[in-house]
Amino acid sequence: MSVGSRRGDRSAPALALVLWAALLFSPTASAATNMITLGLALEPPNLDPTATSAEATQDVVYGNVYEGLTRITEQGRVAAGLAQSWTVSDDGLRYRFNLRRGVHFHDGTPLTAADVRWSLDRARAAGSTNPLRELLAPLQAIHIVDELTVELELERPVADLLTYLGWGNLVILSPATATRAATAPVGTGPYRFVEWRKGDAVVLELNPDYWGTPARLQRVTFRIVPDASSALAALLAGDVDGYSNFPAPEGVAALEHDGRFTVSIGSTEGETLLAINNARPPFNDLRVRQALAYAVDRRAIIQGAMYGYGQPIGSHFPPHDPAYVDLTARYPFDPAAARALLREAGYPNGFALTLRLPPPYYARRSGEIIAAQLAAIGIRVRIENIEWAQWLEQVFKNRDFDLTIISHTEPMDYDIYARPGYYFGYSSPTYAARLAALSRTRDESSRLRLLSELQRQLADDCVNVFLFELPKLGVWRHDLHGLWREAPIQGIPLAAAYLDGPAGHAAAATITRSSGGVFTALALVIFTLAALALRRHVSARHLLGRSITLAVTLLGASLLIFLLVNVLPGDPAAYMMGLNASQSAVANLRAEYGLDVPAWQQYLQWLAALAHGDLGLSYTYRVPVADLVAQRLTVSLPLALYALCLSIALALPAALVAARRPGRALDSLLMGIAQVGLAVPNFWLGLLLILAFSVHLHWFTAGGFPGWQDGIGPALRALTLPAVSLALPQACILARVLRAELGLALAEDYVRTARAKGLSSWQALCRHALPNAMIPALTIIGLQFSFLLAGAIIIETVFALPGLGRLLFQATAQRDLIVVRGVVLLLVAAVVLVNFLVELLYAVVDPRLRDTGAR
Amino acid sequence: MPPARLTVGLKIGTVLLSVYAALALSSLSSVYDAGLTIEVGSRLLAPSAAHWFGTDALGRDVLALVAVGTRTSLGVALAAVAAGLLCGVPLGLLAAARGGLADDALARAGDLVFAFPSLLLAVLLAAAAGPGAMTAVIAIGVFNVPVFARLVRGNALSLMQRDFVMAARVAGRSTAAIAFDHLLPNVATLIVVQATIQLSLAIVAEAGLSYVGLGVQPPDPSWGRMLNEAQTLASSAPWLALFPGLALALAVLALNLVGSAMATHLDPRSRAGSP
């Protein structure tokens, strides 16, 4: 009895040692300096900024991959770009640009005047999809003066030409590579394109041959994090290093007090609109549009959707511009006036409409509030959440919508109201005439007057309901510098961005070393050690029988996982690539991952690879899954062990104290607490702990993991609250089981004998009752390992820890089935293996079980 | 000893469960409609007489959300346990009545399901089939099948040796008839006790899934998702994290109390008063 249990104790440390050895084996995040990962809420539809008006495209390539003749500074001024200098004729009709010497495209070809002419001709050509095509209409001819000099000839002055040339839509491409610009951009910028993993990330790297001051970051990854609610966790967990525009305003206040991050709030050129289809009844009636404007409470939207960030606007113009006119009082919030207008327009009982919302958080959240506000005046709103591609197709291109919400982030984009066929369905000759006059006018005071007239007309005609100017909520790690506070144009230029000192960071680190074999080795070591430790206690037949069960269970689990992952979604390749993928891309992926052979063959191949410790190649990260897992294990494994230790450390004394005087007050109290504690879900407990210890007491950070490179102290500190949340409910279960078993053991004769021999109640309890109570407790501890692992995957989300659980959920969200498959199998294997070891331990603890193999 | 504590526990549990049932049923009517209306003017209000549980970021009444969430959470949990029960009990009876290969196959299949840490199967399903209430029901339900099957099998096996079953076999009754007419009534109480415990586990599982975004999808409110949404606002509006969690923990506590009271009542060892 007690003898056996002491032997069991001897193999337990051995097991712990092996598990800790796993930590040493697994590669840690290499101290990869000068790499950053920035979060993007939307994925670019393509990477050619001259062909699309999507902001996400500009975010990635503007100023990084591509450059224009001029560039726009953070203050919104025009500065020299690829053109070193320029001269303008007195009549404003001729612009001569002197190009820089020694500029090369990323493919090595030098930049010449011919490239400039070709790029601008391409942008203004008849079939061009360039959003600025109309603005280039006055451009009559482009002359090549010499190799590095180009002259633009206009038929009438264009006052803002130098600004336009600095925008992302008019960057200079090389004719040789322009056809592939949508997927593989080649420009002249400080960074060059590496790869675009659809649905996941766009990667850029330093251009060593840059003509200007070289960039200081080695590699920049723009990671697509579509879910606004996970943005904060992504930041805390170090999955991303920052957001140029953080999509969760509710989290900004907390980040401002977090020393790990810099919060930099500026403004964008984004006028956020409740856009109206002016061409479609009943919205072609001015009174209906005005009713909408009166019914919408901007302040409530800014509070409710933006948490107070963002300035209300009354027309299509940014408040930080000198020419801005405050027209927010033109249609104040007045539901009574709105209802009166509706009655007048012939809708006394309101009507029904559809509000189509694109994915950005401001649209989705404002939409919910606006729907409630319109309901107050009798308009029944049906909200339709659509994807970005659908929005571009249905709303923007086909003008099939009633209302939508979108931020127009292009600067100086009041010209869109004069564009024929634009999706607002608005057309006004007066507006067009005023706009044309503005384009001809270079006198500053006349320009201001014209600009104010334009703003007033849009407000009077109530083309759209103008909501607020989109703020730029910059949030990034404190040691990252050189990102823009303001966003005078679309784009996230990173030419001047840099990191302090040698900064190793999980998000930026990449692991190149393959560690797949580690797992196989680890499993073998555990197995051998267990076998050696048990050799004298367990018969070979028993061991063999158990091993066969183990193997069968593992095989069955692998089959089940395979069926769910490879067979259930139909075509996993198409599933992983999403709706917008082309047929050929899906076919390529299918071939790459061996998904083009029959399912049974895929399964066998997977098993064969598994035998080598090869879990496959992650679809999104493009690194071996085994490496990803090994890296994440350095968080998850210590967390589970920490929690297990805490759980035992809490439960054992509690059970002993309670069992010493059965039925007394202390017993009832402790077991009552355990009963209540049992009911507390660990993730809620985690939230409460964060509230108490991070928000109020500031003893711990609210989440995140600093890594082990700074020593064990900070890492364990970061794991303490998560471990406590995991351990407490488990400790309650363990305490109850132990208490019950101790109670039974205390009633046995041998304990009574021991007491009669003169042992104190403590001695009897600890020496005689406890070892016997440990047998069932061992089962619970074994089972708890499984619960701890499963619980840990949720707790990691609560505390934003970069462990296996987060990897699993991320992979699920990114539909990286390869990673999901590998992680699940590994977790299952861990559970099965632990159960196997626990069963072998029984045999050590309880000699009666050695040969029968019962239980 | 069925001590006073357990009887009190049973009372507390029963009262709490009645409250939840009332909440879930009342959410079917329109009493919470006013509370669910978006009213930005009254956003993030601390608990008060007008809003007992405070309001959320869109000015909705948290009590109303918790009440409607009760229906969602209990609905998914009940459906999952019912599914597990309806599949598991016949399987367990069959295994006990037939024995042999069917019994072995069932045991191995059970091992297989238990090899998956509880939520993992749900995550896997959500990854492959997309998240949603149905996925949650299936995933949690699958986990319940072997629980019931094993319980029924274990207890039915001992019944198989009893005289009344022997008599029925001698009388030539079919396996199915024996299983349902003789075995089932004798394990029914055990099933009810187990179902109570499973229900509490299912509620936690559903909340966990919803918390990580793989359970019930918006706009249906659920306790788990409310907790998720509360997290970023935890510093300014702690009541958002408090009340859905409390609702969750109390529901689990109530089921545990009722379950363990019933188990104690049924367990002859504890009824006899040992230890």
Q: Which two tokens stand for residue A729?
A: 């409910």
Instruction: Compare CB distances from A691 to B125, B234, B253 and report the shortest one's residue.
Output: B234
Q: What is the pTM of this model?
A: 0.74
* Nearest-by-CA chain A residue for B126: A812
CB burial of residue A286 (10 Å; 0-12, 13-18, 19+): middle
* Mean pLDDT confidence for A764-777: 76
State the Cα–Cα distance between residues B1 and A667, nearest whole angstrom.
14
Q: B178: domain CATH number?
A: 1.10.3720.10
Two tokens, residue B35:
């509370």
**A825-853 as b/e, with b when 16 or more CB fall inside 10 Å?**
bbbbbbbbbbbbbbbbbbbbbbeebbeeb
Tell me which chain A residues have a C-beta less than 8 angstroms from the C-beta of B241: 684, 687-688, 691
Please indicate if any CB of chain A lies within 8 Å of the CB of B166: no
Buried b / exposed e along B113-152 (16+ C-beta atoms within 10 A): bbbbbbbbbbbbbbbbeebbbebbbbbbbbbbbbbbbbbb
Average pLDDT over residues A216-224: 91
Q: B245 vs chain A: nearest CA distance in angstroms?
A: 6
Per DSSP, A230 falls in state: G
HEC assignment per residue over A485-508: CCECCCCCCCCCCEECCCCCCCCC
The per-residue pLDDT for range A696-730, each reduced to its tens digit, is: 777 877 777 877 777 788 888 888 999 999 999 88
Check pLDDT > 70 for residue A106: yes
Q: What is the ipTM of this complex?
A: 0.87
Q: Are A424 and A277 in contact (CB under 8 A)?
A: yes
The C-alpha of A246 sits at a distance from chain B's nearest C-alpha, in angstroms, of 13
- Mean local confidence (pLDDT), A362-378: 91
pLDDT of residue A12: 42
* A391 and A363 Cβ atoms separated by less than 8 Å: no
Q: What is the per-residue burial (b if ≥16 Cβ within 10 Å, else e) of A117-138?
A: bbbbebbbeeeeebbbbebbeb
Give the pLDDT score at A847: 60
Domain span at residue B70 reads: 3-273
Token readout for B26 is 């009342």
pLDDT tens digits, one per residue of A140-175: 999 999 999 999 999 988 888 999 999 999 999 999
| Closest-approach residue (CA) in chain A for B257 | A675
pLDDT classification of A507: cutoffs 50, 70, 90:
very low
Question: Domain total for chain B?
Answer: 1
Q: For the residues of A84-122, what is the DSSP string, one character each?
A: EEEEE-TTS-EEEEEEPTT-B-TTSPBP-HHHHHHHHHH
What average pLDDT does the structure give for chain A?
A: 83
Binned at pLDDT 50, 70 and 90, residue A15 comes out as very low
Residues of chain A neighbouring B123 (CB-CB closer than 8 A)? 793, 808-809, 812, 820, 824
Taking 50 as the threshold, does the pLDDT of residue B180 lie above it? yes
Unique residue bearing structure tokens 């626990």 = A838
Please report residues of B whose CB lies closer than 8 A to that of A678: 252-253, 256
Q: Which two tokens stand for residue A179?
A: 């056809």
**End-to-end alpha carbon distance in chain B:** 8
H-helix or E-strand spanning residue B123? helix B118-129
B61 in contact with A, Cβ within 8 Å = no
pLDDT, residue A2, reads 36
For tokens 């990962």, the residue is A37
pLDDT at A56 over 60: yes
User: A187 near A61, Cβ under 8 Å?
Assistant: yes
Given a cut of 70, whether residue A1 has pLDDT beyond it is: no
- Any A CB within 8 A of B228 CB: yes
pLDDT in tens, A508-564: 333 334 444 555 666 676 667 666 666 666 667 777 877 888 888 888 888 888 888
What are the tens digits of pLDDT across the range A492-503? 999 999 998 654
Best-predicted range by mean pLDDT among A21-30, A79-88, A614-623, B175-184? A79-88
Convert the pLDDT of each residue in A300-330 to its tens digit: 999 888 989 999 999 999 998 889 999 999 9
Place of tokens 């079919």: B174
Question: Measured between CB atoms, does B273 come within 8 Å of chain A?
Answer: no
